[in-house]
A and B are shown apart, each in its own frame.
Chain A
Amino acid sequence: DIVLTQSPATLSLSPGERATLSCRASQSVSTFLAWFQQKPGQAPRLLIYNASNRATGIPARFSGSGSGTDFTLTISSLEPEDFAVYYCHQRSNWPRTFGQGTKLEIK
Chain B
Amino acid sequence: QVQLVQSGAEVKKPGASVKVSCRASGYNFNSYGITWVRQAPGQGLEWMGWINAYKGNTDSAQKFQGRVTMTTDTSTTTVYMELRSLRSDDTAVYYCARDLNFPQLAPDYWGQGTLVTVSS
By a beta-carbon cutoff of 8 Å, the part of chain A in contact with chain B is: 30-32, 34, 36, 38, 43-46, 49-50, 55-56, 87, 89, 91-92, 94-101
- Contact pick for B106, options A38, A46, A94, A100, CB 8 Å: A46
By a beta-carbon cutoff of 8 Å, the part of chain B in contact with chain A is: 35, 37, 44-47, 49-50, 59-62, 95, 97, 102-108, 110-113
B101, closest chain A residue (CB): A91
Given contacts A43-B95, A43-B110, contact A99 B104 (CB under 8 A): no
Return chain B residues, CB-CB under 8 Å to A30.
103
* Residue among A50, A96, A101 with most chain B CB within 10 A: A96
Return chain B residues, CB-CB under 8 Å to A34.
106
Given contacts A49-B104, A49-B105, 11 further A-B contacts (CB under 8 A): A30-B103, A44-B45, A46-B108, A49-B106, A50-B104, A55-B106, A89-B47, A95-B47, A95-B60, A98-B37, A98-B44
